[in-house]
């Protein structure tokens, strides 16, 4: 020790104990080590053994400690005593809360289950909440996918049996070129950050397609600052160039996709044999052959003449479509804002890396036709995409186009390309169809949400009215596989298709940032009938925190924080798998609540039993499960298959399939909160066609029989809807829908301008407006975290240089931003690396006064603002007497990013406009200083 | 002890990769968490739920735009914490000896028991690396997690600074910069690591790796042959397709 | 830089106090008895009062004694040590004069040197900082010393000396301001060197690491409008130099003398406020501000 230096304790005790659980600060589900001191949470870090984050942790995760001490935590069940929206509540006992809820719900269950609308927001227990709703018998259940990700999920599953988001990942070890479209830094964020770091270290290049150059796009080698809503057109131009140059993977297309499948020239449906198998022409025999016949060499260029009609392959139709000059780079440059030169360069680079840098992985494997291959061919180009392309009204077709692009390059499920994570790949045929039409007192015949194969799966009544309150699975959005949470309040208020009695929601801030048209939704929630009763008679809401939505509910069921609860992140819905392994995880109470709150899922279990839902009771009428933990361990969805795959069987040594193991949760805790089963080496790639993978997937219970399939470049269910619009079949759309359906339900990807462009004047509203989540914040998922809000307590509207200069803005200025629907006045800031016609801001920083235990002078409720006020759930009237939804016409995905605005300089108001009256807070305001140190 | 040591046994520090940092603030909050619970006084927060929330942080991430003469502006996320300078002005200005540079590893620390909270060291630091904790009245700064890197209660792989351990993108590297063979020295060597404000003469230990050249694909001539058309029309394409299929393994030619 | 009132009060008052002590120390014919008591009382009130004021901005004033330990390296420590030695030396000198009618000439000279050195150390606390280019100049000690000497001369009734020193200090003040306005841009430090990205293009701060002000922003970034600053400079200049010189040039009266002193003190306090308020710390560059 040097002279004068103090003696330091270089090995202080870190904690008394480390408890390993799963993070819930966003949707990533990273493993965390919760360091405990004196029984309290002292420090949170990433779990090195965890398959998702491998030790790293983002800002949100590390700030979890401020989430469990948050002053905004609700403390007891609440009963509304003032008018809705006033925030006037009375604390009540759980017994009173449960009796009230049971009273309301039992009557509905027995008389009119559809009058319950149960929507669960950012729920991570959807396989359970949907199970509950199914057994309640209401058709009105969904989570928040309809306003979040459905375009991505649906397009991926219909096209290739799996999607981006967190359901797949690039082959980080081998990829040389990674191209991202509209990727926000929220879902799967730590794995993607880690992956980008890894591939950069390997010398790979990143192309970022995004109007905003931030986050991943900031580190991208090439930035494509595309005009919002035109990604599909850009992708089709890439496809045009690649096809024209013959830079497509013919072997891959012939063997593993429906490019060689014959399309019936008269119906547009795929030709099939008597067993229903899609037919190809075998290049060896020249004869029609089932696609999966051993030794078949499907002929991409075949024609098949039968009964005087010549049928062509999908590839033939694609050539006719995509070689059309409308997709030439020169013809899309202006719309996309990308020069023809740049489009060609990118196409060429994709081709170069996919084909010139192709490699063979020394791994023998056997395909589904029984042919054994000595190696696996790697094409080191990978893609990823997220909300930037999916939250447009053309998002489904854009996502489809991107999948077709990567399939043409032969880069899906090959080394170096995009890889699925179990339980994907999983073809549409392995998914359920939608179910509705409950009978009082009876469960639905199957899950609410599924994948329609054609008009016969729509959820419409004989009179053409919608079965579901959100009008999912109707002609307005036939393939709305996640439901339309954003339409529930609006439709319930309009009593269209029918009035409901009780709206029951969980973790969804519908009176604020989770709704389009926030002011309108607030009005709908508070609107009354002539008799003085509320238009939406009863609202039950569960949340852990004092969110904006709390003030609009009649009964509040306070949830726990994520460290105080049981959860399972299950293979039955959204597990934590990696491409090389099937994995799931739990949360468990690493601390006990210090308030009178209960985990929402345990509350649902008790509600289910007390209402008398058959599956929630034993034969003797006693509750089947005492709480959610009990359900997680003991529920079996299929024999031997339950919510958790790990540690099943008597000895706890089985994965996937096995009898119930009462010690299962203890085993998970012992193992760090998760279980993983690695994919065998020979099964790691080519999964949809790989016998080893198929057998492994059956073994661990992902499915019950091997189900190899072809990627669907041509999506036949879409053709069925399109064909119905052309007048074929018994189930017919209303006439006013026909033209739109004929256009958008194209079975091959197309691009059309975002719908808002055709209903507002693009010259007047000449600016695109977007939001994105900051990486260090996850809007109202949790509370306004004391540490994180210091990073993002305000949200300027970022303007590109062109607009900044045009309106002579300078720092500290404000702008009035007007859409066809509304107007906001907000602070502005300059960003040069931004598409020149686009403005954007951080999502959901703006808060309402009186919420989240913030002081009323908090920046979030003064300069902070929401863009939501500018967006409506309906498009403006077009004069046809109809109001069209501001959604993707295929899936109903909320078209948040279609928004067009105009901008002018404004005198600075005292606070962002519109401003709302404060809500009376159900919790005391937070402390005015923090010196948080456990065990000090 | 405000004289700087003439030589330190090792020179521990960070190497921060501006090419990889996506600006996620993970390092910021991990640091806040570790150092609130560990070394010295907790990092306090004033008005944590009010207006102008203001807490002590030892590491912060700026966002810059670089506008080249030609082409798009580039966004650079820029984490910044104490650089543990060889010639640390914050140490020599300290009137009490609370600030010092460790002889063993060159880490610059504040002995909080001796700090009078005069703030002069923060004035002397060109990098904004020191923040006076408003609750405790003492100067806080990055300790390079001196209570982690030698901590025998942590597994060996975790004996690194908290920010490095948590960084999802792997943009932060820790090691001995006096050892030319260390990973960090090698990174600095191969990637052209640089100093911040070299003109200040502070001789920072921490180095920054520059972003790679961006938006550089304007020279398309090399790539052009890759897009040589096989056909202009669908018919031509199908003809090409037929021939190309024959060339595939198992084909007729 | 944040113009902390305690530091402004300190440097204004203690500068005057040590200036007065200097003149008392070198006086060949110093006052004794009650007049000496009054002079020394004023000098000690200013210098000690200033020093006490300076502790108000400390996080831990009770540990201030530790600041005497690092005189080998720290100007702040040297200031403390020097101030204590100056005050002790001049204390003995004062006691001799007040109570014993003894004029310890050598002690007075040593005390005067220490008083002046104390002012020098104060100025060097600022002048040493590379981080504040406006301060990093020999003109900073020149200004502090000339102001201290002029103020001391004024307080001690040395009219001609005061006029001469006020003129000299005015010249230093003028030069200091002129130089200071270009100091940051002349320093070669900008956001380009601060980030190391300057060779790639023009660097601009797009977003701060935190949306509310933190310690760094509050301490180092104080934005004062240029017009406002120019007006304050004129006021400070008038009060510090012009009005006192006019008062001194007029036939002597006690009222004019008091006006001259008060005007000078107010002027120095104003220019000290500007000394901080106009000073740009290079940390501001990281925030895209100065």
Q: Inter-chain contact B153–A12, Cβ cutoff 8 Å?
A: yes
Flag whether residue B74 sits within 8 Å of chain C, measured between CB atoms. Answer: yes
Cβ neighbours of B49 in A, within 8 Å: 71, 784, 786, 852-855, 858, 925-928
* Pairwise CA distance, residues A8 & A5, whole Å: 9
**Closest-CA residue in chain A for B46?**
A929
Which candidate, A774, A754, A870, A888, places its Cα nearest to that of A819?
A870
* Pairwise CA distance, residues A497 & A476, whole Å: 13
With bands split at pLDDT 50, 70 and 90, how would you rate the model's confidence at C289?
A: confident
Flag whether residue B60 sits within 8 Å of chain C, measured between CB atoms. Answer: yes
Task: Fill in the DSSP letter of residue A886.
Answer: S
What tens digit of pLDDT does each residue of C21-45 get? Answer: 999 999 999 999 999 999 999 999 9
What tens digit of pLDDT does each residue of A58-107 get? Answer: 999 999 999 999 999 999 999 999 999 999 999 999 999 999 999 999 99
Q: Is the confidence at residue A1, as pLDDT, over 50?
A: no
Point out the residue among A71, A323, A932 whose CB comes nearest to the CB of B233. A323
Q: Inter-chain contact B128–C57, Cβ cutoff 8 Å?
A: no
Q: Do the Cβ atoms of A137 and A436 come closer than 8 Å?
A: no
To the nearest 10°, report the CA torsion of C153, C156, C160, C164: 10
**Closest-CA residue in chain C for A833?**
C206
* Pairwise CA distance, residues A105 & A93, whole Å: 18
Q: Inter-chain contact C206–A831, Cβ cutoff 8 Å?
A: yes
Preferred mutation among C201, C209, C211 to probe A, highest tally of A CBs within 10 A: C211
Cβ neighbours of A862 in B, within 8 Å: 51
Point out the residue among A793, A831, A832 whose CB comes nearest to the CB of C211. A793
A17-67+569-599+630-678 has which fold?
Answer: N-terminal domain of TfIIb (2.20.25)
Cβ neighbours of C7 in B, within 8 Å: none
* pLDDT score, position C57: 86
Which candidate, A344, A324, A322, A323, places its Cα nearest to that of A333?
A344
CATH number for A78-148+429-563 (one of 3.40.190.290, 2.40.160.10, 3.40.50.740, 2.20.25.90): it is 3.40.50.740
Q: Do the Cβ atoms of B132 and B99 come closer than 8 Å?
A: no
Q: What is the mean pLDDT of chain B?
A: 94
* pLDDT score, position A614: 86
Q: Is the confidence at residue B252, as pLDDT, over 70?
A: no
Token digits for C223?
């934005």
Token digits for A285?
């025999």
Cβ neighbours of C207 in A, within 8 Å: 829
C-alpha count within 13 angstroms, C-beta hemisphere, residue C210: 25
* Pairwise CA distance, residues B61 & B44, whole Å: 19
* pLDDT score, position A186: 80
* pLDDT score, position A2: 42
So what's the ipTM on this one?
Answer: 0.96
- Residue spans per domain, chain A: 17-67+569-599+630-678, 78-148+429-563, 164-423, 755-906
What tens digit of pLDDT does each residue of C145-190 get? Answer: 999 999 999 999 999 999 999 999 999 999 999 999 999 999 999 9
With bands split at pLDDT 50, 70 and 90, how would you rate the model's confidence at A147?
A: confident
CA geometry: angle at C41 spanning C35 and C44, to 5°? 140
CATH number for A164-423 (one of 3.40.228.10, 3.40.50.2300, 3.40.190.10, 3.30.565.10): it is 3.40.228.10
- Residue spans per domain, chain B: 12-209, 223-253
To the nearest 10°, report the CA torsion of C89, C90, C92, C95: 180
Q: What are phi and psi of C217, to 5 degrees?
A: -65, -45
Beta strand ranges found along C135-278 (DSSP E): 202-207
* pLDDT score, position A458: 97
* pLDDT score, position B251: 60
In three-state secondary structure terms, A360 is strand
Q: Inter-chain contact B168–A56, Cβ cutoff 8 Å?
A: yes
Flag whether residue A240 sits within 8 Å of chain B, measured between CB atoms. Answer: no
CATH number for B12-209 (one of 3.10.290.10, 3.40.50.620, 3.40.50.720, 3.30.70.20): it is 3.30.70.20
Task: Fill in the DSSP letter of residue A355.
Answer: I
What tens digit of pLDDT does each residue of A2-14 get? Answer: 457 899 999 999 9
To the nearest 10°, report the CA torsion of A654, A656, A661, A665: 110
What tens digit of pLDDT does each residue of A642-671 get? Answer: 999 999 999 999 999 999 999 999 999 999
Flag whether residue C66 sits within 8 Å of chain B, measured between CB atoms. Answer: yes
Beta strand A418-420 with A168-170: parallel, antiparallel or unpaired? antiparallel
Give rounded-to-5 percent helix, strand, coil for chain C.
75, 0, 25
Q: Inter-chain contact A201–B170, Cβ cutoff 8 Å?
A: yes
pTM attached to this predicted model = 0.96
Cβ-based neighbours of A906, under 8 Å, separated by 6 or more: A814, A815, A816, A825
Question: How many angstroms separate the CA of residue B129 from the nearest CA in chain A?
Answer: 17
In three-state secondary structure terms, A72 is coil
Q: What is the mean pLDDT of chain A?
A: 95
Cβ neighbours of B62 in A, within 8 Å: none
CB atoms under 10 Å from CB of A42, counted, come to 23
Point out the residue among B21, B166, B241 whose CB comes nearest to the CB of A301. B241
In three-state secondary structure terms, A707 is coil
What tens digit of pLDDT does each residue of B184-213 get? Answer: 999 999 999 999 999 999 999 999 999 998
Window 196-255 of C, Cβ < 8 Å to A:
204, 206-207, 209-212, 214
Q: Is the confidence at residue B10, as pLDDT, over 90?
A: yes
- In which element (H, E) is residue A586 found? strand A581-587
Three-class DSSP labels, A152-178: HHHHHHHHHCCCCCCCEEECCCCCCEE
* Pairwise CA distance, residues A846 & A784, whole Å: 11
* Pairwise CA distance, residues A476 & A888, whole Å: 9
CA distances for B117 relative to A862, B96, C54, angstroms: 34, 10, 12
Q: Is the confidence at residue C225, as pLDDT, over 90?
A: no
* Pairwise CA distance, residues C16 & C267, whole Å: 12
* Pairwise CA distance, residues A849 & C113, whole Å: 62
Task: Fill in the DSSP letter of residue C17.
Answer: H
* pLDDT score, position C54: 86
Chains that touch C (3 or more CB pairs under 8 A): A, B
Chains that touch A (3 or more CB pairs under 8 A): B, C
Q: Max CA-CA distance within chain A? A: 100
Flag whether residue A369 sits within 8 Å of chain B, measured between CB atoms. Answer: no
* Pairwise CA distance, residues A136 & C208, whole Å: 50
Q: Do the Cβ atoms of A396 and A749 come closer than 8 Å?
A: no
What tens digit of pLDDT does each residue of A356-374 get? Answer: 999 999 999 999 999 999 9
Question: How many angstroms separate the CA of residue B16 from the nearest CA in chain C?
Answer: 12
Q: Inter-chain contact B127–C286, Cβ cutoff 8 Å?
A: yes
Q: Inter-chain contact C211–A831, Cβ cutoff 8 Å?
A: no
Percent over 90 (pLDDT), chain B: 86
Token digits for A539?
């609202």
What tens digit of pLDDT does each residue of A319-345 get? Answer: 999 999 999 999 999 999 999 999 999
* Pairwise CA distance, residues C116 & A493, whole Å: 82
Q: Is the confidence at residue A879, as pLDDT, over 90?
A: no
Cβ neighbours of C72 in A, within 8 Å: none
Query: For A122-126, A189-193, A256-260, C203-207, which range has the lowest pLDDT when averaged over its residues?
Result: A122-126
- How many pairs of residues across A and B have Cβ atoms under 8 Å apart? 324
Percent over 90 (pLDDT), chain C: 91
With bands split at pLDDT 50, 70 and 90, how would you rate the model's confidence at B219?
A: low
Q: Do the Cβ atoms of A407 and A713 come closer than 8 Å?
A: yes
Token digits for C175?
């030069």
Q: Is the confidence at residue B130, as pLDDT, over 90?
A: yes
Residue A497, preceding bond cis, omega within 30 degrees? yes
Token digits for A823?
């107007």
Flag whether residue A659 sits within 8 Å of chain B, measured between CB atoms. Answer: no
| Ordered alpha helix ranges (H), A671-778 | 691-699, 716-725, 735-744, 755-759
Question: How many angstroms separate the CA of residue A270 from the nearest CA in chain B?
Answer: 20
Q: Inter-chain contact C210–A831, Cβ cutoff 8 Å?
A: no
Q: Do the Cβ atoms of A66 and A791 come closer than 8 Å?
A: no
Flag whether residue A850 sits within 8 Å of chain C, measured between CB atoms. Answer: no
Average pLDDT of A745-771?
95
Q: Do the Cβ atoms of A377 and A371 come closer than 8 Å?
A: no
Cβ-based neighbours of A69, under 8 Å, separated by 6 or more: A932
Q: Do the Cβ atoms of A215 and A841 come closer than 8 Å?
A: no
Preferred mutation among A17, A56, A62 to probe B, highest tally of B CBs within 10 A: A62
Q: What are phi and psi of A140, to 5 degrees?
A: -100, 75
Flag whether residue A152 sits within 8 Å of chain B, measured between CB atoms. Answer: no
* Pairwise CA distance, residues A728 & A725, whole Å: 7
Flag whether residue A200 sits within 8 Å of chain B, measured between CB atoms. Answer: yes
Beta strand ranges found along A821-899 (DSSP E): 823-830, 838-842
Cβ neighbours of C209 in A, within 8 Å: 791
Cβ neighbours of C214 in B, within 8 Å: 54-55, 57, 60, 131
Question: How many angstroms separate the CA of residue C230 from the nearest CA in chain A?
Answer: 23
Give me the sheet containing B54-55, strands edge to edge: A929-930, B45-46, B54-55
Q: Inter-chain contact C212–A793, Cβ cutoff 8 Å?
A: yes
**Closest-CA residue in chain B for A298?**
B245
Q: Is the confidence at residue B253, as pLDDT, over 60?
A: no
* Pairwise CA distance, residues A432 & A450, whole Å: 5
What tens digit of pLDDT does each residue of A442-477 get? Answer: 999 999 999 999 999 999 999 999 999 999 999 999
* pLDDT score, position A3: 52
CATH code that applies to domain A755-906: 2.40.40.20
Three-class DSSP labels, chain B: CCCCCCCCCCCEEEEEECCCCCCCCHHHHHHHHHHHHCCCCCCCEECCCCCCCEECCCEEEEEEEEECCCCCCEEEEEEEECCCCCCCHHHHCCCCCCEEECCCCCCEEECCCCCCCCCHHHHHCCCCCEEECCCCCCEEECCCCHHHHCCCCCCHHHCCCHHHHHCCCCCEEEEECCCCCCHHHHHHHHHCCECCCHHHCCCCCCEEECCCCCCCCCCCCCCHHHHCCCCCCHHHHHHHHHHHHHHCCCCCC
- How many pairs of residues across B and C have Cβ atoms under 8 Å apart? 198
* Pairwise CA distance, residues A288 & A273, whole Å: 9
Average pLDDT of A404-414?
98
**Closest-CA residue in chain B for A224?**
B215
* Pairwise CA distance, residues A608 & A613, whole Å: 5
* pLDDT score, position B220: 62
Question: How many angstroms separate the CA of residue C257 from the nearest CA in chain B?
Answer: 37
Average pLDDT of A172-200?
94
In three-state secondary structure terms, A664 is helix
Cβ neighbours of C211 in A, within 8 Å: 790-794, 859
């Amino acid at each position: 020790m040097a002279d004068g230096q103090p003696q330091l304790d270089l090995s202080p005790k870190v904690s008394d104990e480390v408890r390993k659980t799963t993070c819930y600060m966003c949707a990533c589900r990273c493993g965390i080590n919760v360091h405990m001191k004196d029984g309290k949470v002292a420090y949170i870090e990433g779990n090195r053994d965890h398959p998702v984050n491998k030790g790293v942790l983002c800002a949100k995760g590390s700030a979890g400690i401020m989430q469990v001490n948050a002053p905004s935590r609700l403390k007891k069940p609440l009963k509304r005593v003032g008018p809705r929206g006033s925030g006037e509540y009375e604390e009540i006992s759980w017994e009173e809360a449960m009796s009230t809820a049971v009273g309301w719900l039992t009557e509905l269950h027995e008389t009119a289950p559809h009058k319950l609308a149960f929507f669960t927001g950012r729920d991570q227990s959807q396989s359970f909440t949907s199970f509950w709703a199914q057994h309640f018998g209401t058709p009105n259940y969904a989570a928040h996918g309809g306003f979040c990700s459905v375009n991505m999920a649906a397009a991926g599953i219909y096209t290739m049996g799996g999607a981006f988001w967190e359901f797949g990942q690039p082959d980080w070890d081998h990829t040389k070129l990674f191209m991202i479209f509209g990727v926000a830094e929220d879902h799967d964020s730590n794995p993607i950050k880690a992956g980008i770091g890894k591939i950069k270290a390997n010398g790979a290049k990143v192309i970022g397609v995004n109007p905003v150059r931030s986050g991943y796009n900031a580190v991208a080698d090439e930035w494509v600052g595309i005009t919002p809503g035109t990604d599909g057109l850009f992708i089709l131009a890439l496809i045009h160039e690649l096809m024209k140059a013959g830079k497509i993977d013919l072997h891959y297309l012939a063997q593993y996709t429906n490019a060689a499948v014959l399309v019936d020239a008269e119906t547009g449906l795929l030709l099939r044999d008597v067993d229903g198998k899609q037919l190809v022409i075998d290049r060896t025999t020249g004869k029609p052959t089932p696609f999966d016949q051993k030794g078949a060499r499907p002929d991409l260029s075949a024609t098949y003449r039968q009964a005087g009609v010549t049928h062509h392959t999908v590839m033939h139709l694609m050539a006719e479509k995509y070689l059309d000059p409308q997709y030439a780079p020169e013809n899309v440059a202006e719309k996309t804002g990308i020069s023809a030169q740049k489009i060609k360069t990118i196409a060429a680079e994709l081709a170069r890396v996919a084909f010139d840098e192709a490699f063979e992985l020394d791994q023998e494997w056997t395909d589904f036709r029984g042919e054994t291959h000595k190696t696996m061919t790697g094409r080191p180009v990978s893609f990823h995409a997220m909300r930037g392309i999916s939250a447009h009204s053309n998002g489904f077709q854009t996502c489809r186009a991107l999948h077709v692009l990567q399939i043409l390059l032969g880069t899906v499920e090959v080394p170096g390309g995009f890889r699925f994570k179990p339980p994907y790949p999983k073809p549409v045929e392995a998914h359920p169809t939608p179910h509705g039409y409950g009978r009082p007192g009876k469960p639905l015949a199957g899950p609410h949400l599924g994948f329609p194969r054609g008009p016969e799966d729509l959820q419409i009544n004989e009179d053409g009215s919608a079965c579901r309150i959100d009008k999912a699975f109707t002609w307005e959005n036939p393939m709305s596989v996640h439901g339309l949470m954003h339409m529930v309040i609006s439709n319930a208020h309009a009593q269209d298709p029918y009035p409901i009695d009780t709206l029951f929601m969980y973790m969804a801030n519908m009176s604020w940032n989770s709704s389009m048209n926030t002011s309108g939704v607030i009005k709908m929630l508070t609107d009354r009938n002539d008799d003085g009763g509320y238009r939406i008679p009863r609202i039950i809401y569960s949340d852990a925190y004092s969110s904006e939505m709390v003030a609009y509910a009649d009964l509040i069921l306070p949830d726990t924080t994520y460290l105080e609860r049981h959860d399972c992140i299950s293979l039955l819905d959204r597990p934590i798998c990696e491409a090389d392994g099937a994995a799931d995880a739990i949360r468990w109470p690493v601390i006990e609540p210090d308030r009178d709150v209960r985990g929402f899922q345990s509350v649902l279990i008790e509600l289910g039993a007390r209402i008398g839902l058959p599956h929630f009771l034993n034969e003797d009428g006693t509750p089947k499960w005492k709480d959610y933990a009990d359900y997680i361990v003991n529920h079996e969805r299929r024999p031997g298959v339950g919510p958790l795959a790990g540690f099943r069987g008597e000895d706890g040594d089985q994965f996937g399939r096995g009898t119930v193991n009462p010690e299962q949760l203890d085993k998970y805790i012992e193992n760090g909160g998760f279980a993983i089963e690695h994919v065998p080496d020979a099964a790691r790639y080519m999964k949809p066609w790989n016998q080893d993978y198929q057998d492994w997937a059956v073994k661990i219970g992902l499915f019950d029989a091997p189900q190899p399939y072809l990627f669907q470049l041509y999506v036949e269910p879409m053709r069925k809807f399109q064909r119905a619009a052309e007048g074929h079949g018994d189930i017919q759309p209303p006439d006013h829908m026909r033209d739109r359906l004929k256009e958008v339900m194209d079975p091959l990807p197309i691009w059309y301008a975002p719908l808002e462009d055709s209903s507002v004047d693009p010259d007047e509203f000449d600016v695109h407006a977007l939001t994105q989540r900051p990486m260090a914040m996850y809007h109202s998922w949790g509370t306004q975290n004391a540490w994180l809000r210091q990073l993002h307590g305000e949200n300027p509207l970022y303007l590109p240089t062109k607009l900044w200069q045009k309106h002579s803005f300078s720092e500290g200025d404000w702008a009035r931003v007007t859409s066809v629907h509304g107007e906001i006045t907000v602070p502005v800031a300059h960003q040069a690396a931004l598409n020149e016609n686009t403005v954007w801001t951080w999502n959901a920083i703006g808060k309402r006064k009186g919420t989240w235990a913030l002081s009323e002078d908090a920046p979030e409720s003064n300069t902070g603002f929401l863009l939501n006020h500018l967006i409506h759930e309906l498009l403006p009237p077009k004069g046809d007497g109809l109001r069209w939804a501001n959604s993707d016409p295929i899936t109903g995905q909320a078209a948040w990013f279609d928004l067009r605005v105009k901008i002018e300089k404004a005198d600075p108001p005292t606070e962002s406009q519109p401003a709302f009256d404060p809500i009376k807070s159900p919790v005391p305001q937070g402390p005015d200083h923090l010196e948080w140190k456990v065990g000090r | 002890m405000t004289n700087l040591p003439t030589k330190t046994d090792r020179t521990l520090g960070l190497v921060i990769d501006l090419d990889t940092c996506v600006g996620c603030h993970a390092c910021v909050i991990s640091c806040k968490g570790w150092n609130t619970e560990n070394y010295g006084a907790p990092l306090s927060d004033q008005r944590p739920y009010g207006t102008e929330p203001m807490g002590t942080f030892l590491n912060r991430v700026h966002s810059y735009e670089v506008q080249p003469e030609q082409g798009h502006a580039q966004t650079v996320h820029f984490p910044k914490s104490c650089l543990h300078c060889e010639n640390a002005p914050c140490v020599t200005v300290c009137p009490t000896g609370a600030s010092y540079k460790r002889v063993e590893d060159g880490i610059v620390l504040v002995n909080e028991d001796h700090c009078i909270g005069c703030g002069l060291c923060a004035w002397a630091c060109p990098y904004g690396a020191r923040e006076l904790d408003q609750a405790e009245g003492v100067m806080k700064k990055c300790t390079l997690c001196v209570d982690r890197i030698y901590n025998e209660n942590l597994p060996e792989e975790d004996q690194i600074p908290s920010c490095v351990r948590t960084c999802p993108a792997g943009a932060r590297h820790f090691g001995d910069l006096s050892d030319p063979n260390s990973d960090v020295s090698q990174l600095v060597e191969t990637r052209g690591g640089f100093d911040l404000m070299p003109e200040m003469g502070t001789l920072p230990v921490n180095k920054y790796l520059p972003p790679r050249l961006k938006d550089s694909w304007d020279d398309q001539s090399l790539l052009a042959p890759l897009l040589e058309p096989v056909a202009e029309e669908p018919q031509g394409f199908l003809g090409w397709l037929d021939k190309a299929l024959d060339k595939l393994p198992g084909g007729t030619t | 830089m944040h113009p902390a009132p305690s530091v402004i009060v300190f440097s204004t008052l203690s500068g005057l106090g040590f200036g007065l002590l200097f003149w008392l120390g070198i006086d060949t014919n110093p006052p004794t008895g009650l007049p000496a008591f009054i002079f020394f009382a004023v000098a000690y009130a200013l210098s000690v009062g200033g020093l006490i004021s300076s502790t108000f901005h400390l996080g831990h004033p009770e540990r201030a004694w530790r600041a005497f330990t690092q005189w080998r390296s720290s100007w702040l420590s040297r200031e403390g040590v020097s101030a204590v030695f100056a005050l002790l030396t001049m204390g003995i000198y004062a006691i001799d004069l007040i109570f014993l009618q003894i004029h310890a000439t050598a002690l007075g000279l040593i005390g005067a040197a220490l008083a002046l050195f104390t002012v020098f150390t104060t100025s060097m606390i600022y002048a040493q900082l590379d981080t504040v280019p406006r301060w990093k100049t020999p003109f900073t000690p020149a200004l502090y010393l000339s102001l201290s000497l002029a103020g001391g001369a004024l307080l001690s009734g040395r009219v001609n000396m005061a006029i001469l020193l006020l003129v000299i200090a005015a010249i230093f003040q003028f030069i200091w301001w002129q130089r200071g306005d270009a100091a940051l841009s002349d320093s070669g430090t900008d956001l380009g060197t601060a980030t190391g990205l300057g060779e790639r293009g023009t660097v601009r701060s797009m977003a701060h690491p935190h949306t509310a002000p933190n310690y760094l922003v509050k301490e180092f970034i104080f934005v004062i409008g240029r017009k406002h600053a120019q007006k304050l400079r004129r006021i400070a200049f008038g009060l510090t130099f012009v009005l006192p010189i006019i008062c001194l040039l007029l036939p002597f009266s006690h009222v004019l003398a008091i006006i001259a002193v008060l005007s000078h003190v107010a002027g120095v306090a104003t220019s000290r406020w500007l000394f901080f308020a106009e000073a740009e710390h290079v940390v501001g560059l990281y925030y895209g501000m100065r």
